[in-house]
Structure 1
Amino acid sequence: MAVAYNGWFSVAAGARTVARHLGCFILVATVSAALLWSTSQPASSAEKIIADYGGTSGFQAPLWAAKEGGFFAKYGLDVEIVMIPGGTQSMQALISGGTLFAQSSAAAPINSRLGGSDVVLLAASINKYPFSVVARPQIKTPADIAGKKVGVVRLGGSNESALRKAFGLWNIDPKSVIFLQMGEAASRLVALSTGTLDVTVLAPPHTLKARQMKMTILADLKALPIYYPQSTLAVRESLLERSPQVAKSFLKAYMEGVHWFRTNREAALKVLRKYLRTEEREILEETYDYFAPMMVPSLRVNLEGVQEILTQEGQRLPAATRRKPSDFVRERLLDELDREGFTHKFR
């Protein structure tokens, strides 16, 4: 059944919904306990760190690469990476001290800071929407979307933001569709196949599966003139003040991981094989070929994309329109790496 919240709709599934939220609570609590000792300790040569990523789409690969390529260890960090689906849960873990770094779309950290937290964006590895708008086979053009059920990971997140931007370019009134909160990509693809959803956004490898299922690909949003920091590193300012060297070492590892992923195809395919949990060469190659060119070697956050988020948030939170993109980004460490010549090795 569908339950309305403030004019929107989210899918409720009884006990499954309770279990999902309980699972998120247990994950955050467990992560918090695991890291409690490290957040109160000074930085060391092998700082214990937990960092999270949001799912199993290819735009999560920068963090995977930094881990699997051995770059965290290279820069003296002991890093465990965990998956926490959903930006809200990711920010809860970050603010509670359960994680020290979060790889997330920029919307969640920006919303967290607008709500009063000290979360900031440290870097960005992908600055465009890495999504395609995918519809059931009966839908042939964007004009057919009106009145249809449109699925997103969560209401207010980057999926919805991407769709609203596409609707604007297509002159489609967002009020003419029903937004449904449906969770991660695999679930939405199943919902498309059963008719629970009519439209969603997907990224490789799920777009390949969608094509195999004869779904309609209405648009590849990365080809549109839209900027959006999709894969960013979020941290708390308190960490930057308490342990700047830890943050700098993490940033070095992340930057080198991006470079290694972009320039070592076979090694990158092995990383994707592990985290996507597939042996299908076609899926792995499509995912790599789509995402590797999108990655930003400099790790600079696109401020135009941050402004886009603030403009959208301003529709529900007027205070967002009075904030500047620079209020949400801290580039001092990237500036230091530039001056030291570190970043020039990876361009």
Structure 2
Amino acid sequence: MTAIYARAMFASILAVGLIAAPSAVFAQDKSLKKISWGVTSLSASNWIPWLAKEAKIYEKHGLDVELVLVRGSGQTSAAILGGSLFAAPVAVPQVMMANLGGADLVNIAHTVPGVQSKLLVRQEIKRPEDIKGKRIATSALGSLGDFLFKYIIRKNGMDPIRDVVWLSIGTPGERLQALATGRVDAADLSYPTDAQGLRMGYRVLWDARKEVVYPSMSVVTRRRTLQEDRDTVMRMLRAHIEGIAYFKSHKEFSLKVLSKYLRTNDQELLEGSYAIFREDFISTPYPIMKGLEATYEYVAATRPEIRNHKPEAFMDPSLVAELDKSGFIKRLYEGK
């Protein structure tokens, strides 16, 4: 199975290093453990790993982290299982389906309780049923956006496979461009790209945050990795959680980081992103195991046996619990 996943990953993954190499001092420090973290889109939802890298929080916890851009949860899970990524966000349905097929992915944290994702459409699409026969752009089949909007379409009495056409188009910016050029009629966009789309005259058909209870921006690795190298997984999680605290107490630095990676100086977009995610990023990010009815329904459509498995089969809250009970997380916010 590993060989199959590795071949799939090498055939489909589009990976680019996002951050400059560490300073010479740290590069020569052999005590730093090298790992790769998957960044699943160029959007503000991936703020924390960018911030943890720029603020040298990973280095503080003994890690030399390469941030790698990957396309959607399907390719991300293949990269984790193939050994190219140590950990990354992977949508819960993808974790479930991969594990039902024999994989050993495990979700150890959820960074965001809901999804900042909207389906922007052309002005003539005003009612849910108007989406019939239209072309919708998401990042990739099996991605979070793919799951969410197929679920919403189904909830509105339509068949998401038969009634619409799906196109896999990488980044939010590329999807907005496809909408602008007429290649698609609707696009799954997150902030700030959705705000840009609204200013261009497109309208929101569905706001996933309001339509579906769904936690996102998970921290997913392999159970094998957790068993064999729990220390590195814990250091990665400590850095991630400290990155959330740093984000909430260092606004100006956080804005500069987002400006760099989204390549924008639009202060309205940057400030809007910060306001959203300062509220959304969970300080104590236990994996969310309740309210997953939509997830189970989606997976059960092709894998009905998912009903025999509880959320605990795919998640492990013990690492966040250890950091919570030790006082580590509380100390991050003392005096802030």
| TM superposition score normalised by structure 2 | 0.85
How far off its partner does 1:126 sit? 1.1
Deviations 1:130-165 (Å, cap 9, x if unpaired)?
101210122223342233222222223211221133
Q: Which residue of 1 aligns with 2:62?
A: 76
Distance 1:305 1:64 in 2: 29
Distance 1:305 1:50 in 2: 31
Distance 1:161 1:155 in 2: 8
**Does residue 105 of structure 1 match 2:91?**
yes
CA change 1:29–1:128 in 2 (3 A) is closer
Distance 2:298 2:155 in 1: 15
**Does residue 155 of structure 1 match 2:141?**
yes
Distance 1:29 1:139 in 2: 35
Distance 1:152 1:29 in 2: 18
How far off its partner does 1:340 sit? 0.8
Q: Which residue of 2 aligns with 1:145?
A: 131
Corresponding letter in the other structure for 1:296:
I
Aligned pair count reads 314
Where structure 1 has 5 or more consecutive residues not aligned to the other structure, the ranges are 1-20, 32-43
SS in 2 for 1:163: helix
How far off its partner does 1:112 sit? 2.0
Aligned residues: percent identity? 28
Residue correspondence of structure 1 range 265-344 to structure 2 within 5 A: 265-344=251-330
Residue correspondence of structure 1 range 1-150 to structure 2 within 5 A: 25=11, 45-150=31-136
**Does residue 211 of structure 1 match 2:198?**
yes
Q: Which residue of 1 aligns with 2:210?
A: 223
Q: For the Cα contact (< 8 Å) 2:9–2:75, is it kept in 1?
A: no
Where structure 2 has 5 or more consecutive residues not aligned to the other structure, the ranges are 1-6, 18-29
How far off its partner does 1:287 sit? 2.2
CA change 1:24–1:271 in 2 (3 A) is farther
How far off its partner does 1:346 sit? 4.6
Distance 1:23 1:113 in 2: 17
CA change 1:100–1:306 in 2 (3 A) is farther
How far off its partner does 1:49 sit? 1.2
Q: For the Cα contact (< 8 Å) 1:135–1:218, is it kept in 2?
A: yes
Deviations 1:66-98 (Å, cap 9, x if unpaired)?
222221111122212111222222222211222
Q: Which residue of 1 aligns with 2:27?
A: none
Q: Which residue of 1 aligns with 2:166?
A: 179
SS in 2 for 1:101: coil
| TM superposition score normalised by structure 1 | 0.82
Aligned equivalent of 2:175, options 176, 181, 188: 188
CA change 1:259–1:30 in 2 (3 A) is closer
Q: For the Cα contact (< 8 Å) 1:53–1:104, is it kept in 2?
A: no
RMSD between superposed Cα atoms in Å? 2.6
